[in-house]
């Protein structure tokens, strides 16, 4: 008779450290969610107000340049638009 030991099956348990890590992560997300919920009005209306102020400023400043274009007909040709 030989004294061989059978391999042990893998552990099927959850360690307490794993549970604590999951709970700690969830608490951090909960705190972040509470901070966002408390400041939701500022997070929505702050950027909207800044965008409206920027838009108003853009309409009040004078343009720095003006562009003009002209479409000239071909020389000596009676071709219609788009014809080659």
Q: Residue 56 falls within a domain, yes or no? A: yes
The verdict on residue 83 lying in a domain is no
pLDDT surpassing 80 at residue 48: yes
The structural domain count of the chain equals: 1
Q: What angle do CA 80, 81, 84 make, to 5 degrees?
A: 75
Q: What is the pLDDT of residue 42?
A: 92
More confident residue, 33 or 80: 33
Give 20's Cβ-side CA count (13 Å radius): 3
**Average pLDDT rounded to a whole number, residues 13-30:** 86
Q: Report CA Rg, the chain.
A: 36
Residue 10 lies in a domain: no
Q: Which two tokens stand for residue 18?
A: 């794993």
pTM of the full structure: 0.44
What is the spatial distance between Cα 10 and Cα 39, in angstroms, rounded to a whole number?
48
Domain with 22, as residue range(s), is 16-60
48/42 Cα distance (integer angstroms) = 10
């Amino acid at each position: 008779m030989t004294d061989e030991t059978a391999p042990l099956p893998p552990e099927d348990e959850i360690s307490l450290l794993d549970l604590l890590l999951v709970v700690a992560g969830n608490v951090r997300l909960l705190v972040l969610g509470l901070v966002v919920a408390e400041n939701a009005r500022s997070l929505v209306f702050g950027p909207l107000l800044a965008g409206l102020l920027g838009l108003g400023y853009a309409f009040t400043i004078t343009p720095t340049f003006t562009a003009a274009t002209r479409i000239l007909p071909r020389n000596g040709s009676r071709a219609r638009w788009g014809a080659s």
